[in-house]
Amino acid sequence: MAALVVVMALGVSTVPSAQADDLKDKKHKVERQLKRAHQDLDESSAKLRKASARLEAAHEQLVGAKTRLATARGKVEVAREKDAQMQAELAQAEVDLAAAEAALAQGQVDREKQRQRVASTVADMYAEGDPELIAFSSLLDAETTEELTRRDGVRDVVVGQEARAYDELKAAEVLLEVQEQQVSDARDDVAAKREAAAEHLTLMTELETEQQAAKDSVVSLVIERRDARGDARKARAQDLAKLRKHQAQQKKIEEMLRKRALAALRRQRANARGAASGPSSGLLAHPVDGYVTSPFGYREHPIYHYWGLHDGVDFGGGCGTPLKAAAPGRVVASYWSDVYGHRLVIDHGVIAGRGIATIYNHASSYNVGVGAQVSEGQVIGYEGSTGWSTGCHLHFTVMANGQAVDPMNWF
């Protein structure tokens, strides 16, 4: 209702021409949307509309749920591939660690052996005295230059043997330090990969939970769609039963009005008061102060999708808006219809050569009953939303010789 007020306000705004054209386009767009929105007035019960909306919602949600499930499955598959890669990397890191630890253990053995060799060498050398003094003494005892040179070489060998033993021990100790560092690095690498694998396992668990939730959602929505489809079928069946009942009532009304129209026309001819003519403007007064929300004519049923006649004009105006007699006449029927709610039928006799009656539908109530004589413009009831209706409005039907005609041709 507020949207319609906005639209009407847009229609009378004073704005620059460019903006006015834009506002007109928006106005027409909103009017078309409103027209489509109101096309299901008088077309189906609230139960069917609700069931149909539920079915449509379940279908749309199911599409989204399937997409989420596919996405979740994709994430889990990628995570599993990543997990396999991480497990392989962890296994390799553990192999590297084992190799490094084995090398360290061998290095420790080699260093200990080298220490023992150094100790043995030094012990053997010093068992006979200080190697440097022994070498110096041998030099003093040399008698020739040749012997001096030979004994000096022997001294170098003796002293160099000790130095080499210490160098080899030092090298073994340096290698051992390198191996210890390799073991430390390998342990850190294994620890990091184990931590990453643990974190990834947590992620895997979360993704699998997400996948299961998505799967459960799909299953739930499949069940919901099935149940909604069943409810919609039941509601359609109930609506069709009500439609058949309404059509039977309508045929009785049409037959009654046809007979009354023929009788009125006979009386008119007998009294020679006027000749038959087609409809023209000014024959009926507007039945309510409201705007047209849905015109007379054939259209597709918004839920059943069959092509049928919308046998009147829908007028908006708001709940409680007074309904007025479109012309003088007599109330010939007033009853409840599951489809049209509170109905009132007024016979106006002969107008423009045809027997005319008007039917008011969906009223909240009427303040006149069968047999009452009404005058043009008299308040006969109030706009409501009874029967199959999505909001307060008047479905106004004009019957000419017992057949529905376009009311807009009779104003």
Residue 178 belongs to some domain of the structure:
yes
For residues 324 and 119, the model is more confident at 324
Do residues 205 and 331 share a domain?
no
Do residues 296 and 378 share a domain?
yes
Average pLDDT of the chain is 78
Do residues 214 and 280 share a domain?
no
Report, as an integer, the average pLDDT of 335-357: 94
Do residues 165 and 279 share a domain?
no
pTM, to two decimals: 0.55
Residue 141 is predicted with a pLDDT of 58
DSSP 393: B
Burial 317-332 (b: 16+ CB within 10 A, else e): beeebbbbbbbebbbb
Do residues 162 and 284 share a domain?
no
Do residues 211 and 294 share a domain?
no
For the cut 90, the answer to whether the pLDDT of residue 97 exceeds it is no
For residues 192 and 118, the model is more confident at 192
Specify burial of residue 237 (Cβ count, 10 A radius: 0-12, 13-18, 19+).
exposed
Q: Which of 30-44, 104-118, 153-167, 194-208 has the lowest mean pLDDT?
A: 30-44
Dihedral, CA atoms, 115, 116, 121, 124, nearest 10 degrees?
140
Residue 374 belongs to some domain of the structure:
yes
Residue 50 is predicted with a pLDDT of 79
Q: Which of 1-5, 71-75, 200-204 has the lowest mean pLDDT?
A: 1-5
Residue 47 belongs to some domain of the structure:
no
Do residues 214 and 302 share a domain?
no
**Domain final position from 219, 238, 257:** 219
Do residues 303 and 199 share a domain?
no
Nearest-angstrom CA–CA distance, 74 and 366: 64
Residue 264 belongs to some domain of the structure:
no
Q: Which of 125-134, 163-172, 227-236, 288-297 has the lowest mean pLDDT?
A: 125-134
- Rg of the chain over Cα atoms, rounded to whole angstroms, equals 52
Q: Strands, DSSP E only, in 319-401?
A: 322-324, 329-337, 341-351, 354-363, 365-366, 373-374, 379-382, 394-400
Report, as an integer, the average pLDDT of 103-107: 81
Bridge-based pairing state of the strands 329-337 and 373-374: antiparallel
Phi and psi at residue 144, to the nearest 5°: -130, 165
Q: Which domain holds residue 292?
A: 274-411
Number of domains in the chain: 2
Do residues 212 and 316 share a domain?
no
**Domain final position from 219, 240, 263:** 219
**Domain final position from 155, 188, 219:** 219
For the cut 60, the answer to whether the pLDDT of residue 17 exceeds it is no
CATH, residue 354: 2.70.70.10
Q: Which of 96-100, 147-151, 328-332, 358-362 has the lowest mean pLDDT?
A: 147-151
Do residues 294 and 394 share a domain?
yes
For the cut 80, the answer to whether the pLDDT of residue 202 exceeds it is yes
Nearest-angstrom CA–CA distance, 179 and 282: 111
CATH, residue 138: 1.10.287.1490
Residue 213 belongs to some domain of the structure:
yes
Phi and psi at residue 95, to the nearest 5°: -65, -45
pLDDT in tens, 364-380: 999 999 999 999 999 99
Residue 37 is predicted with a pLDDT of 40
Do residues 66 and 211 share a domain?
yes
What are 216's two structure tokens? 């459960």
The dihedral sign for the CA sequence 128, 131, 135, 136: negative
Residue 224 belongs to some domain of the structure:
no
Do residues 278 and 204 share a domain?
no
